[in-house]
Structures are given as structure tokens and as C-alpha cells.
Structure 1
Amino acid sequence: MDPTPATHDVIIMGGGLAGLTLALQLKRQFGDIDVLVLERRSHPVPHATHKVGESSVEIGAHYFDTVLGLKQHLDESQLRKFGFRFFFSEGRRDIDAVTELGASRPLAIPSYQIDRGIFENHLAEVAAQQGVRFVDNAMVRRMALDPSPQGLHRIEWTEGGEPRAAQCRWLVDACGRAGLLKRQLGLVQPNDHRAHAVWFRIGNRLTLDDWGQDPAWRARCTPAARWLSTNHMVGAGYWVWLIPLASGSHSVGIVADPDFHPLERMDSFDKAMDWLAEYQPAVFDVLDGQRDKLQDFAFMRKFSYGCKQVFSGERWALTGEAGLFLDPFYSPGSDFIAMSNTFICDLIGHDRAGRSVQARAQLYDQIYHSFYDSTLALYQDQYGLFGDPEVLPVKVIWDYTYYWGVLSQLFFHERLTDVATLGNLRDELQHCQRLNIAMQGFLRAWSASSARRNPARMLDQAALPWFSELNASLRRPLADAAAFQARIRECVGLLRTLAAQIHAQALAQHPGLDDAELAALLALPMPRAPIDPDAAPMLFAPVADMADDAVAA
């Protein structure tokens, strides 16, 4: 054991995606900061490394390419993603003859399919170049926190079998589901979302564009590269992901609610293939002849969980899966890493400036948990409607609008830690959260009455001008805080209009739906700017009209 342990500004336990990106962000913000990263695994890690989280969405992608300055690597060594795409293909081999939801062309804001092995190796190299001390094969053995104002936390680990120790001002747990600090502090908190997942990699590219025989279907997308999307093959109670990796492998996963599809039906590769043969035969047909290319297989029961606290004024924090985890649907993992790391950097910055962080840490913890609760509502008890070709497309449009209109605006325009602006927008943000929760319940009720018609059509998100404009607005500069607040209030109006139109369409089809919670919210005036739904532009075209627009486009 070192007799006089070295002292660092920050020690990060875990050198995966969350820990390495935090180290890079700290070095970009504070050039002289002393950061030590302790990683259990040996580096470099294999390509197509066996981790979920390959698909990024707008917040995570912006964090990687702009906040961390990694755009060149992402453009040259990863794959540009062609958005999300959904096929209502349960029991079908003719995926060109079912309802497809997606964009016919890429939208303005980029996202990426990320080979985690390639990416994490690159992150480790860049971190070392920027002065981060990165230690692999490090097994943390003990943590002793000192919460006193001038105290130092002590960490002990083994490195190549030899005991080591160090002290630090800030300790961050980024060690994934091991949750070392979370368990030591008794912060484990389950939630009621019970879904499970199995996933594996095949050492070959799955060119989904070749699965359909209809030339018109193939020509609907520009470029004709559906395989670059995160493709979702959906059915009641589950979804199957198909994600391409830059290394040439393809990631395949099944995520399901156990009330519909028990884990025991799919907890080995052979069982998963049998399950695919029954529920997604088009996927089975392609994989069946490539069993020899299987690279790995894993499963996880009840993958979703919360955490009682992730940021502390006593100079510790949790980030990534060491804190909480939602669901892989919509790929929010890298988004929540981006947000938690940004909060952590701000707290460390205030501490370095000699300011107290107690109140700020408590506020950030509340805000982060509010984001978690709002996003969890997108998943919990919603898997039953995933096989509904009439309602799931509406849910996806709503969920994207909520994501781009609120959370993404806060992150892209660097207002996540702007306490004054967040305070000024508190009523609007709370209203949006309540509206989203009410909408999720309403969509569930609608799906219970839906006829679930599944015609051969493409519902083209790119054919909705307001939808494309909302996406593009994320990188449109705003002059000041007042302009940002005006933007958020516009987005609240957009959500209200969309909610009113979805509400009206569903009730026109099914007059007896339980709409009490949503109707009560829509009857309230919008905070600070009343809206007249009757005078609002038509944002949400009925599903049939979306299909017509897509064909015309």
C-alpha cells in the first residue's frame, strides 16, 4: 500500500462510456484539473464489445460530437444513423406489406450507431492524450468518504494484484450496474417497470432493404438505406431491435414485458431463435443461416431501476448505469449520461470556485429525477400498445415532440444548469410533465379499443413539416435567456395543440374513451400564454392522412 497516497481533484470509478466522457468533459472545461479513472477491464476492449447502448439519439449525439468535440471520429469511424424505424411485422415475412413508421430522408440533427468497443477505445486514447490518468485492470476494494468541507475521500484498489490507494476531492461512481457507491450508501431503488431483454451480435451486416420484394417500397427512402436505422420489429408486449455496427457486426435484441412474453421463452440463443421463428419470422429467416456467426449472447431480467440520490453536496456523484436506468426503447442511455455529466461538471466548477454546492446539488438531483420520472412514463405499462399500428405511430410522434420540444431544447441551448431560467419556466415544465403523463394513459386507453389495422403503408415523419422544423430548431441559435424562454413557451403551445388534436381524433373514433385526466389538463389555460385549440394549425394529421402524405412525398 502506498504510504502517502496521491491526491487528485476527481477520481472516477469506471472507464466505460459514462466515466470516460465525464473525464473528457472535465478536461475540456477545466484544463488543469487532475482526473484519475479506474477501470476494471483490460484495455483496449474488443470491437462490438458486449454492451447495450449502441444507438444514440439527439441529446447523446450532440454531447458526443459537439460538447466533447468527437465529430471527426463519429463521422469517420462510426455509422450515421437513419433515425428510428418501426415495422408492424408480427408473424409476417412480407415486411414490405405492413405498416412502416419512419422518415423517408434523414432529418437535420445527426445521430449515430456506435460500436461501443471502437468508441470506448477511442475515448480512452483521447483522455490519455488530454492528461487524464487512466488505469485499467483496477479493482476497487474500499471507499471511505469524508464529507467535511475540506475533507478528502479515500479509495483503495488493486492494480495487477498490487494494492493501491489515492485521495480525491470528488468521487464519481461510473462503474455501471455494479453500483459500488450506490450500494455502500444504501441508495438502491427499484421501480415498477418490469421489462427484460436478451441480445446478441451476429458477425455480419443485416441488409434489411433487401428483405422486401416491392420496388416501390425499396424506393421510398432516400438514401435506400433502412439498414442504417435503429429498426424496431414490434408486436404486442415486445420489440426487436436491429442495430448495425461499424465493425461489420449487427446487434439484435428482444425487449419484452414478462406479462406478454416471459424471459424463460428467450433466455438462450436457441430459445430466442425459436421465439423469433414464431413472432418475427422475417428476422428468423435471415439469422437462421448465420448461426455460425454468433459472437455473444446475454440476457437481463428487469433491467430498469431508479436511485434515491445521484448528486451530493458532500462531493460525490453517480453517473450512467451506476445511478439509474430506464429502458433501451428510444435509446435514452447516452442522453442521461450527457445530462448527469453536465450537472457533475457544473457542481465541480462551483466547488473549484470556492462556492458551496449543497443547495445546487440538491436542486440538480431533483431536476434529474424529474427527467427520469417523465421519461419512465413513456415505457411503464405501455408495452401492450407496441403492436398497435394505429396508436403506436401516434405515441411515437407525441414522444418525439415532447423530447425535442422540452428536454432537447434545454440541453442543446445549454440551459440545463441555468437555475434562473429553469425557475422562470417551472410552471411550463411542470405542465408539460403532467400533460405527458396524461397522454400516456390516454394512448393506453385508445389502444385498448383500437382495431389495430395494419395496411401496407409508410407513415413518413419527414412529410410533417412542423416535425422536421422542430428537429432542426435544436441547433438554431437563440440570442439570450429571454429568447430561450420564448422558444420553450412555443414548444409548450405545440404540445398543447398536438395533444388537443390527438384527443379529438381518438374520441371521434371511440367516443367512450376514458379521457378525464387529459381533458382536464387541456381545459386549463396554458401557462402565461393561453392557446385556442380551434385556432391552432393542424399539426397531427390522422394516420391515414400521414400515409397519403408519405406516398405523395
Structure 2
Amino acid sequence: MKSDLIIMGSGIAGNLAAMYFRKKFPDINVTLVGKQKSRSPLVGESTVEVTVQFLNAIGLSTLLEEKHYHKYGLSYYFKQSYDKKCNKYVVHEAPGINRLPSFNLNRNVFDQDIRDINATLGIRRIDQDVQEVILSDNNDHKHQVVLKGQNGETTHIDADWVIDASGRRRLLAKQLQLHKAPAYQRNSFWFRMNSFDRTKLFEMTDTRVNHHCYDPYYVTHHFYGQGYWIWIIPLKASTGKDHVSIGITYRPELLGQKNVQLESLLTILDNDHPSISAMIRSGSIDDTCSYNNYMYEAEQYYSKSGWYLLGDAAFTFDPANSAGLAYVAHEITQIASMISKDRNHELTQDYVDAMERHVKAQLALQDSWSNWYLIMNDPLKMAWTLKVANMGYFHVVLPNFINGSYLDGRSANHFAKLLPRFSKENAPKCYPFPELLELITEQIDPSQPLDPELIPNLYEKTINFRLYRATNDKDRAQFVSRYFFKLARLRLYVMKKVKWQFNIKHGVVMTKSLIAIASDLIKSTVIFCIPSFYVKKAKVNSSLSSPYTNMGDHLRCLTHDKKHTPPLQSMMKNDDQPAQVDSREISEMEM
């Protein structure tokens, strides 16, 4: 048996990859292998704008709108005191609707729908386990995947390219001994529930920016504590009942617990966030799941010889900031760009290395997130950390994805230089403006409520509301210029909150801060005036150039027959005929 492309794994990463490749390269054969699990641990899924841009590109916009809740951003709840008994919060939520949408996915519904759509696209699906992968040692791409049937019989499939999307089975990573231990481990416990009283979540005293844009329930909610954070993801259920995913991710050595389950979670929440525990006790639990020590990486993710690791088969991620499927979207499009160049006999080791460096640069963000757990019980440091992190996402990462610049090898290498990975021992502070925030911390009376002005909601000043379409390179440079300008303003804001004293320590911190502000303003000005200072692109048709000529081409795919696939197939009265209007109704309307 022969297939141009084999994708091993029938989960969400494998199905999304199959759909993208089938639509991007309609002339190649795509085979999806692996047994579909009747039950698998699904979180819910909070998506970000990168993910939705990818899902829209493969024709799923109607599905998202009809079957899943809009997610109006990430909302963060910071204690207004260092006393964990405090039930007063400063809430950071979007004061408006972002021009680029995101959604909270009901994964049970979504996963089945994309499988149903794939069944109409001519993707060959084989419901068998992979027994062995025989990889070619050279660049002739003569790989072979050996499948094992129910009765022990084997099937051999030859392929030019093999993508491992087998999830935590990690078929290729284990076979090739690519396992790499992460700097820090994480544990997670979560569950989904229904028939709960959502109003109990808001039984707290909070400070938030008033707006008239959306119901604040329809976001992804984040709460924090000693070595942990909590997510609450509202989900749309086909039954019409309230449905929600709630979970905790934690570093066990910081939390002081190694295996959080429902009862121990409720004990934590009773002490730290009683409104959440009250909401949980008001509902019915559907299912529970947990992962302990679930983090891992790989030494290599892509190969010039035509094999690739995708999703959880490559590395696991911290669900903080909902980046999971965003990583998958980057990886699928990177693999597609390598296959595209390979088909034209233009793929070089330099280009593969550049894509690999981009993946590892994104993992540098994971390194920072690992250290966030050290400050999650510190509302001052955590609030400012998230401000700056989200500002970087909206001004750098998101425009790069929509534009497709990360598929240019020179641009990918430049991005990797901007986000180097540090060893555990040499990691910098995980929060911004460390010397300023340390001074403010020293001046705070921990027995008194925290001034909300120390942790203000600056969403409207840090989020890039101007971004709504594929941008050219000049616009990307201007967004980065604005990032540095806003960074200087944020640092100045923090400086104004310090109660300055006339001594050497304060003088040194003030001098360093003013120099940093000047440096950011210089970067902002130079990048604005000379975009090439930031924008680095390879020459057209060079070994590092992107296979796509126009910006955003990686997100332009063929469409599918939406009329006969979810969700429209169940919404239309008749698949072939338009709805008929009774003649009596016509007469009445004419009268």
C-alpha cells in the first residue's frame, strides 16, 4: 500500500493536520492511521486568536460560530491582599471585544465534527495501531509504517512523509530515543460539570473596568495561588445545560501536594477562592482527569528526510494562556512549508534547522511560564508579568503568525535569537521590571489591602486592537515599535508608584530604569523609521525563503462542501431544496 503522507494519530492534532494538508495539497494522498479512543482526557479547550485564524483557514468558522461559545479574552483575578483569606479581587478583563475572535471549544463536539468533515474529504482512515515505523536513512523518503490488525495481521504502507501525531504515545520520539526532560515538572487535575449555579462565581468583591461589551462569564477565567493556577472554561453543550471545564495546574513542590483530586482541590479553594468551590458544589461532575509529571520535550522535532513530530508527540505544554492548539497551528503550517519546498526539490537542512529553532524559541516561553509558579501568589508581580507577556503576544507572535513570517527561515532564526533558552541556573527573573517591583514590595504593608492602582487593568493600553487581518512587513515592524513604546510607558507607570528615597539603592534603581526607558524608546523609534532593523527576510527563492510568495498564503486553503457537513447539514431543512413558504402565508404577507 502507498500513500504520499501518513499521519499517525487520530486525535485533534492528527485530524486538523489531515484536513489542512488535504486542502493545501489536494493532489497528494493523505492517510490517517490510529484507533479512535472511545474515551480520552479532554479539557474543554480555550483557544487564542492564533488557533482560530488557523481553524478559519481550513473552513471551520461556521462550525465555531454555531456550536461553541465566543471567548471574550482571558480574565485574571488577582487578590487585593497577600492574605489568601481575602475575597477581594482586582479583575483584569478586556474592556472591549478584540477584532480577532477566539472560542471556548467543547472538545467532545468539536473532535467528532472534524472527524465527520474529514470523512468527506477523501482522506484515507485506517483504524489500526502502528506497530513499527521504518524510516529511510537517506533523502529518498522511502518510509514504511507497519500496522497491526485485530487478528495480528500486519499491513505495510509506504510513504514519502510521516507525521507523528500519536500524542503521549510518542511513537517516533521513543523509537528514535529523542526524549528530553524539561526544567520543571507540572501536575494537573481537571473535570467537567453541568447543572451548576454560575452566579456563585461572582460572589466576591471585585474591582474591574466597567464596560458594555459582553457578559463577563464568557471568557476563560484564571485564579492564582501558592504554586498553582485555576482555569474555568465555559462550554456550550448540545443539551442546553450549563457546561464548564475547571482545572488546576501546579508545581507539586511549591503547592505541597503531589496528587490533587476533587476533595483536596475543594479544600484548597475553600481557603483561597471560596466562590469557585461554591460553584463546584452547586453542580454535577461529569468526569475527572489528572496528569502527574506530564511535561516532556524532544531533542529533535523535524527531519529533512521527511519525518516530523506534531502536538503532544513532540512536547507537552503548560495550558497557561491557552497556547496548546496555537503551538499545533504553528507546527502544522511549518511542516507544510517543508513538504512544499521538498516537493519542489528546494528543501535544505538550513531551512529545516530554522523551523526547528523557531519551535525551540517558543519553548523558551514555556521556561518562563515554569517560573511563574514562584510568583502566582504575588498579585503585584503576577499582574505585571501577564500584562507584558500578553502585550508581546498581541504585538509580535500574533502578527507573525497571520503574516506567515515565521515560515521564512531568516525571520525564524531572528525570532530564535530574540527568545534564547536559558539553563535552569541562569534563568532571568520571570517578571518584568524586577528592581522596581521589588522596591514596591518592600514598601507594601502586607496587613493592608493592596492599592488597585498598583495592579491596574491596562488591557486597552497593552492589547493590539488595531490588528484584524494579515499585515505586511511594515505593519509588523510598527507593531513591534509600539510594543517597545508601550513597554517604556509601563515601566514609567511603575516608577511613579515607587516611594522614592534619597539613598544609593534607590538612586541606582532609578538610573537603571531611566536607561531602560531610553533604550526602549530608541528601539521603538529605530524600528518605526527603519523596519528592516526588525524585519529579517531571506532573499526570494533562496534556501531560507518561505515557499509562499504572498503574505498570509499559508492560511489560504481550498474549502469543503459545508452544506453536507457539520454544522449546516443538521441546520438546513432540506439538503437539496430551499425551504418552501406556504401559499397562504404569501397571501397574508401580500395583504
Into which bin does the TM-score normalised by the smaller protein fall?
Answer: 0.7 to 0.9
Deviations 1:93-124 (A, max 9, x none): 985x4211112332222111011111111111
Match of 2:555 in 1: none
Match status 1:278 vs 2:283 = no
Distance 1:434 1:201, change over 3 A: closer
Counterpart in 2 of 1:194? Answer: 185
Counterpart for residue 141 of structure 1: 131
> Any gaps of 5 or more consecutive residues in structure 1?
1-5, 533-553
The aligned residue for residue 547 of structure 1 is: none
Asked if 1:14 corresponds to 2:17, the answer is no
Q: Percent identity?
A: 20
Q: For 1:334, what is the secondary structure of its paired residue?
A: helix
Aligned to 2:588: none
Match of 1:225 in 2: 215
Whether the aligned pair in 1 keeps the contact of 2:362 and 2:419 (CA below 8 Å) is: no
The aligned counterpart of 1:55 is 46
Distance in 2 between the 1:119 and 1:155 partners? 28
Residue 104, structure 1, aligned to residue 95, structure 2 = yes
Q: Could you tell me which amino acid in structure 2 is paired with residue 244 of structure 1?
A: P
* Alignment deviations for residues 446-478 of structure 1 (CA, whole Å, 9 cap, x no partner): 66662364467994445x3x434x1332x2453
CA offsets 1:408-443 (integer angstroms, 9 cap, x no match): 1110112221235556xx3x87457699x8573545
Q: Structure 1 residues 166 and 392 mapped into 2: Cα distance closer, same or farther (>3 Å)?
A: same
1:343 aligns with 2:334: yes
2:381 & 2:14 partners in 1: Cα distance? 38
Change (3 A) 1:431 1:332: same
Tell me whether 1:118 sits opposite 2:121 in the alignment. Answer: no
Cα distance between partner residues in 1 of 2:515 and 2:150 = 62
Alpha-carbon separation, structure 2, partners of 1:515 and 1:192:
34
Is 1:24–2:19 an aligned residue pair? yes
Cα distance in 2 for partners of 1:517, 1:174 equals 47
1:494 matched to 2:488? The reply is: no
Distance 2:465 2:120 in 1: 34
Give TM-score, length-normalised by structure 1: 0.81
Q: Any conservation in 1 of the 2:8–2:33 contact (CA below 8 Å)?
A: yes
1:249 corresponds to which of 219, 243, 252: 243
1:356 maps to which residue? Answer: 347
The one-letter code of the counterpart of 1:241 is W
Deviation, structure 1 residue 332: 1.0
Which residue number corresponds to residue 311 of structure 1? 302
- Measured in 2, the distance between the counterparts of 1:134 and 1:517 equals 60
Contact 1:79 1:113 in 2 (8 A): yes
SS in structure 2 opposite 1:390? helix
2:78 maps to 88
Contact map agreement 2:385 2:432 (CA 8 A) in 1: no
For residues 477 and 362 of structure 1, do their structure 2 counterparts lie closer, same or farther at Cα, with a shift above 3 Å needed?
closer
What are the residue-to-residue correspondences of 1:389-400 with 2, within 5 Å?
Answer: 389-400=379-390
Deviation at 1:251, TM superposition (A): 0.7
Distance in 2, Cα, partners of 1:223 & 1:441: 30
The answer as to whether partners of 2:30 and 2:124 remain within 8 angstroms in 1 is yes
Aligned alpha-carbon RMSD (Å): 3.4
Measured after TM superposition, the shift of residue 287 of structure 1 is: 1.6
121 and 61 in structure 1: CA distance in 2 versus 1, 3 angstrom threshold: same
What does residue range 390-539 of structure 1 map to in structure 2 within 5 Å? Answer: 390-422=380-412, 426=414, 430-431=417-418, 440-442=430-432, 450=441, 451=444, 453-454=449-450, 459-462=456-459, 464=460, 466-468=461-463, 470-473=464-467, 475-478=468-471, 480-481=472-473, 483-484=474-475, 486-487=477-478, 489-491=480-482, 493-494=484-485, 496-498=487-489, 500-501=491-492, 504-505=495-496, 529-530=525-526
Distance across 1 between alignment mates of 2:197 and 2:335: 39
User: Taking structure 1 as reference, are residues 486 and 143 closer, same or farther at Cα in structure 2, changes over 3 Å only?
Assistant: same
- Whether the 8 Å CA contact 1:85–1:102 is kept in 2: the answer is yes
Q: 1:381 to 1:493 in 2, by over 3 A?
A: closer
Aligned pair 1:239/2:234, yes or no? no
Q: Secondary structure at the match of 1:232?
A: strand
Q: Which residue does the alignment assign to 1:535? A: none
Q: Whole-Å Cα distance in 2 between the matches of residues 58 and 203 of structure 1?
A: 27
Tell me which residue corresponds to 1:37: 32
Which secondary structure state, in structure 2, belongs to the residue aligned with residue 392 of structure 1? Answer: helix
Cα deviation per residue 1:16-55 (whole Å; 9 max; x = unaligned)?
A: 121111111111211111111113324xx57xx6323600
Residues 472 and 278 of structure 1: CA distance in aligned 2, closer, same or farther (over 3 Å): same
Counterpart secondary structure, 2:7: strand
Q: Who is 1:324 aligned against?
A: 315
Task: Report if the CA contact (8 A) 1:314-1:358 is conserved.
Answer: no
TM-score by length of 2: 0.76
Structure 2, unmatched stretches of 5+, are 529-591
Counterparts in 2 of 1:210 and 1:392: CA distance versus 1, 3 Å: closer
Q: Is the partner of 2:462 in helix, strand or coil?
A: helix
Of 293, 300, 307, 1:302 maps to 293
Please state how far the C-alpha of 1:522 moved relative to its aligned partner.
6.0
How has the CA–CA distance of structure 1 residues 412 and 270 changed in structure 2, closer, same or farther, with 3 Å as cutoff? same
Structure 2 CA distance for aligned equivalents of residues 176 and 517 of structure 1:
46
Residues 209, 476 of structure 1: alpha-carbon distance in 2 compared, 3 angstrom cutoff: farther
Q: Is the 8 A contact 1:14 1:176 kept in 2?
A: yes
Call closer, same or farther: CA 1:209–1:418 in 2, change over 3 Å: farther
Matched, 1:177 2:168: yes
The code of the aligned residue for 1:324 comes to: F
Distance verdict in 2 for CA 1:297–1:228, change over 3 Å? same
**2:398 counterpart letter in structure 1:** S
Three-state SS of the structure 2 residue aligned to 1:191 is: coil
Shift of 1:519: 8.1
Aligned amino acid, residue 145 of structure 1: L
Instruction: Tell me which moved more, 152-161 or 342-351.
Output: 152-161
Aligned AA (2:20)? Q
Q: Equivalent residue for 2:281?
A: 288
User: Contact (CA 8 Å) 2:139, 2:304: kept in 1 or not?
Assistant: no
Of residues 340-349 and 269-278 in structure 1, the stretch that sits farther from structure 2 once superposed is: 269-278
- The total of aligned residue pairs comes to 505
SS at match of 1:379: helix
Q: Measure how far apart 1:364 and its partner are.
A: 0.6
Cα pair 2:89 2:204 within 8 Å, conserved: no
Q: CA deviation at 1:147?
A: 2.9
Measured in 1, the distance between the counterparts of 2:70 and 2:122 equals: 29
Secondary structure at the counterpart of residue 119 of structure 2: helix
The AA in structure 2 aligned to 1:191 is P
Distance 1:296 1:439, change over 3 A: same
**Partner SS, residue 362 of structure 1:** helix
Given candidates 198, 203, 207, the residue that maps to 2:194 is 203
Q: Higher Cα Rg: structure 1 or 2?
A: 2
Displacement of 1:92: 7.3
Distance in 2, matches of 1:70 and 1:102, equals 27
